[in-house]
Structure 1
C-alpha cells in the first residue's frame, strides 16, 4: 500500500467545490435498485451485469458472506485488492460524464442553441469520479499490468459509450444509473468488511490530504472508513441523478442545474410525470 503524506500542497479552491455532507447524509445512504420496466432498461441493466462479471473476474473480487466468513483464499478481498478494484472502477466511472458532456457541448455549438443546463452536471460528475481515482492513487501504486488494463478499458469504453450516446442518451443514462447502483453495493461491502475487522491495515489509516480538502472532512472524521462513506455518498448521488436524467427528454431542463432553473423547470416536469422516481 502506498504511503501518502498529509501535507501535500494543494490549491485552495476548485472549479467544483464539493458540497458539505452531513454525518446523517453519508450514514443514511442505502443500496437501491430501479426495476427495469422497458426494453431499454433491460438492455442497460444486462450490459451492466456483464461488465460487473468481467470486473469481478479481473479484480479477483470476493467478499465475506453475512452467513459465513469463510471465503476461498484467492477470492478474499485484502486492502490491496480493494484499492485495485476502486482504481479500476473509478478509471471507468470517469468516462460517461465526460463523453455525455462533450457530445452535448458539441451539439449545443452545432445547433446554436442552449443545452438546458445538462453539460455542467455531467462534467461535474466526471470531475468527481476523477477525484475519487486521484484519492485512491494516493494510497496505492497500480502495476503496469493494471495501467495497461485501464488503458484498454478506457479506449473500448470511450468509443462504445460515445457511439451509444449518439444513438440513445436515455439508455446511456439508465446504464450509468445501474452502474452506480453496483458502485454503491461495492463500497457498502468494503465498509462492511472494514467494520467486521477484515481490513486491519486500514484501521489507523488517515484519508489523504487531497480527500480531506475536497470533501471538507471534519477533524474527527478523517479515517479510511469515513473516506469510503464519502465516496459511497457520491456514487449514490450519481445513481439518482442519472436515473432521473434517463427519465427525461433531451430538451427537458435539467432539474439538478442552478436553483432558478429548478424553480422554472421542475414544476413542468412533475406536471408531465417525468420525475417520479
Structure 2
C-alpha cells in the first residue's frame, strides 16, 4: 500500500520559510483595507480535472497563520476530481485567509499537477510489470512534498538523496575505469563488498555491451539509459531476472507504453517533478461578515 502521509515537522519548516518570504512583515494590503473583525469563507475549486495532492499541506498552511481558522477537506490526497469540484472549504478571519492564500495555493497547485501527471503515466503502463518512479530532479527545499505528490498519483519514489543508495552513473564509471572497460566488473565488485547488506547498489549503462560486466559484479539494479526499444527488450532478456531493470531517458506520454512493454521493472521520469505546470485551482473567497457596521 502506498504511504500517503507527510511528517509534520518538515512541512511546517517549508511553510514557515514560505511565509517568511511572502509576508515578512505581514500582509499590509489586508491590514490597510480589511477590518480585523471581518470574517470570510473560501472554497478551493478545481478549474480543470486532476488528482488531488497537498490536502493536508493546504490545511496546515491555513492553520499556521491562524489556528482558529476552520478547514474542511472535501477530498483526500490521491483522489481524482473533475473540473468544477470543490476540494476544500475554509472559514475564518478574512485577513488570515487572504494572507495564507498564495502560499497555500502555490503548494497545492504544484503538488496536484505532479500527482495528475504521474497518474497519466501510471495509467499508460497498467497491465505491465513496470513501476513509474520519480528522480532527484526536484525543486530544492520541496522534495518531500513533490515526492509525496508522485505517490498520490500512484507512482513510487527513487532514492531520496545521494546518501540513501549507490547509483553509479556514466561519469562515475568513466572516472573509475579511465576508459578501460575490462576493469569494470572488478571495480564494481570491490565497491559493493564495502557496503552493508541493506544498501542498494545500482549501475547505469548506455550500451548493451556493458550489461554483462555490470551484472557480473552482483549489482541489485541495472539502469538502461536512453536505450532504443529494441535494445531495451534485448537488455531485459539478457538480464533475465539477475537484477532489476530500470529504463531511463526519452520517457514521455507518447513513449512510456512502448518502454513498459519491453518488460522493464522500473521507469524513472525526471519530468514528473522538474517540468510540470501548476494545476489550475482557485480559492474563491466570499465575505460573510465584513465588520463594517461601526466604521
Instruction: Report the TM-score, using the length of structure 2 for normalisation.
Output: 0.26
Decide which structure has greater helix share: 1
The structure with the larger Rg is 2
Structure holding more strand per residue? 2
Scaled by the length of structure 1, the TM-score of the pair is 0.27
